Chains A and B, each alone.
Chain A
Amino acid sequence: MERDELLAPIVRRIVGVLTIVSLVALVLFGLWGAPTDEVQGDAQRVMYLHVPSAWLAYLAFFITASASALFLWRRTRADVWDRVAGASAELGVMFTGLALVLGSIWGRPVWGFWWAWDARLVSTALLFFLFLGYCALRRIPSSDPVGAAKRNAIAALIAFVDVPIVHFSVEWWRTLHQKATVFNPQLNPEIHGVMALTLWIGTIAFTLLYVYLLDRRYRLAVLEHGRADVELAHAIAERTGVKAGVT
């Protein structure tokens, strides 16, 4: 199965329009629609971006791992899975970084410090580096595309296997040694109806944005691949003086 486009043009257009509409709705609800939090004040509004980013990070890495598994399985092996895995990992790293930065911006006024050695924070930071390494591995050019794709797929799965180990070990570490975490119940009061709605809008908007960007990044990967072929054809044409047929 060879696909030049991930989404059909009409689907892409619909996703794009819905992304813009939901992002505008998120801005309106996040800044004005949702009431100000009694305990955290306006800083709590950062959560409408932070929570969806964190969710997208996990979704993106899950898709990377699934696509890598599909590539490794002979019956479903296709370039489409390799490209989806790479595109999704890059987006995952972006959303993980965004979640960390936004969490830090939220933590400064609410906790009083930019960073805390909280279990969730530490494992998210490790997740960021795990897949940053994977993206760095993918960027290295190779003369053997199928071999490189196989290697990348195995690397994605090895990294993904580490996610639960990282999660549980960090969880143990922080809970065995400090009982009260910064996430004390008082900071998490009952969520107001409009607040929950805004969180949902944020999640939907970011998920749509992810799908749209995934499609665009996929297209870029196809074009990059095509460019390599075109350059090769030109190089051959220069050497031989024969115009090679560029398809």
Chain B
Amino acid sequence: MSGTSLWREAAVVAGKDLRIEARARVALGQILPFGLIVILLFAFALDPDRGVLTRVAPGLFWIAVLLATLLAVGRAFAIETHHNARDGLRMAGLDGGAIFLGKAAAIALQLAVLEVVLGVAVIVMYGVDVHGLGVVLITATAATVGLAATGTLYGVLAAGLRLRETLLPLLLLPVIAPVMLGATRAFEDGLGGVPGDAWPWVGMLGVFAVLYTTIGVMAFGALWEET
């Protein structure tokens, strides 16, 4: 398969998923509010008056994003279960790698929107100052690609299985733990610390994203056909 048609097919799949989202508004109407209420609940758990929230804001932000990722991945494969959509997509003759890239891109885009809204909420509600906006944006991009790639990979792995709703978090969370760690540390440096200190973490997030995107392009076809 030539490179251009891979990207074109990926764009078709991403467009399909985003069109379904635009019509059903599950991410916007359910996952996004879920993320916001998580942000709100953290303030109940941690005393908002003592500056604890401001200090741990990066970690809380990424926990909320991680939880929302689980829902977004579940949703991305739930839309394939109705009306034999999965078989339709299989018979469309698309390359497995292209389906992976398309679905991952759609998840990444939805996560990006979610992160912007949650980010604004954290800045406003937790009283966070942004010192290095560039570092924050690059960190978020690398982490989002990594989350979307691993999420799509485990999404297809668990898709079609009984118990997938309970299995997916157990499979996915330990694997994306390094993303949580790296993104939180980089955000700490980018928000309140020395932005320059974030680069090793951004590098780690980049390696993670490239690695799992590559594995996804290679393995998705086999998983998509088998399960």
Q: Give the residues from 156 to 173 in chain A that come closer than 8 angstroms, CB to CB, to chain B.
A: 158-159, 161-162, 165-166, 168-170, 172-173
Main secondary structure of the interface of B (DSSP, over half): helix
Q: B167 — which chain A residues lie within 8 A by C-beta?
A: 133, 136-137, 140
Partner of A133, one of B161, B171, B178, B227: B171
Given A166-B177, A169-B204: A154 and B223 interface contact (C-beta under 8 Å): yes
* B interface residue count range (under 10 / 10 to 19 / 20 to 34 / 35 or more): 20 to 34
Shortest beta-carbon distance from A79 to chain B in Å: 16
Whether A7 is near chain B, meaning CB under 8 Å from some CB there, is no
Chain B residues contacting A47 (CB-CB under 8 Å) are none
Over the window 161-193 of chain A, the binary record of Cβ atoms lying under 8 Å from chain B Cβ atoms (1 yes, 0 no) is 110011011101100100000000000000000
- A169/B181 contact (C-beta < 8 A), A154-B219, A161-B211 known: yes
How far, in whole Å, are A126 and B200 apart by their CA atoms in the complex? 21
Given contacts A132-B170, A165-B204, contact A154 B157 (CB under 8 A): yes
Q: Is A155 an interface residue (CB 8 A)?
A: yes
Most-contacted residue by chain A among B161, B173, B226 (CB, 10 A): B226
Number of A interface residues in the complex (CB < 8 A)? 31
The yes or no answer to B92 lying at the interface (CB within 8 A) is no
| B223 pairs with A151, CB closer than 8 A | yes
Contact bitstring B146-184, A, C-beta under 8 A = 1, else 0: 000000011001100111000100110111011001100
Binary CB contact string for chain A from 120 to 161 against chain B (1 if under 8 A, 0 otherwise): 000000100110111011001110101110110011001101
Contact A155:B157 (CB < 8 A) given known A150-B226, A173-B181: yes
**Which residues does chain A contribute within 8 Å of B175, judged by CB atoms?**
130, 158-159, 162
Q: B226: nearest residue on chain A (CB-CB)? A: A147
Which residue, of B170, B173, B178, B222, has the highest number of chain A Cβ atoms within 10 A?
B178
- A-B contacts, CB under 8 A, total: 80
Residue among B162, B181, B207 making CB contact with A170, cutoff 8 Å: B181
Q: Are B178 and A169 in contact (CB under 8 A)?
A: yes
A134 to chain B, nearest CB (A): 8
Q: Across the interface, name the chain A residue whose C-beta is closest to B178.
A: A169
Closest chain-B Cβ to A25's Cβ sits at a distance in Å of 36
B170 near A129 (CB under 8 angstroms)?
yes
Within 8 Å CB of A159, what residues of B? 174-175
Interface string of B211-227 (1 = CB under 8 A from A): 11001000100110011
Residues of A within 8 A of B226 (CB): 144, 146-148, 150-151
Picked from B153, B181, B222, the residue with its CB within 8 Å of the CB of A158 is B153
Cα A142 to Cα B212 with chains together (Å): 26
CB distance from A121 to the nearest CB of B (A): 14
Contacts of A141 in B (CB 8 A): 162
The answer to whether the Cβ of B126 comes within 8 Å of any Cβ in the partner chain is no
Q: Which chain B residues have a beta carbon within 8 Å of chain A's beta carbons?
A: 153-154, 157-158, 161-163, 167, 170-171, 173-175, 177-178, 181-182, 185, 200-201, 204, 207-208, 211-212, 215, 219, 222-223, 226-227
Measured CB to CB, the residues of A under 8 A from B are 126, 129-130, 132-134, 136-137, 140-142, 144, 146-148, 150-151, 154-155, 158-159, 161-162, 165-166, 168-170, 172-173, 176
Rank and list the top 3 A-B pairs by shortest CB-CB distance, nearest first.
A147-B226, A129-B174, A169-B178
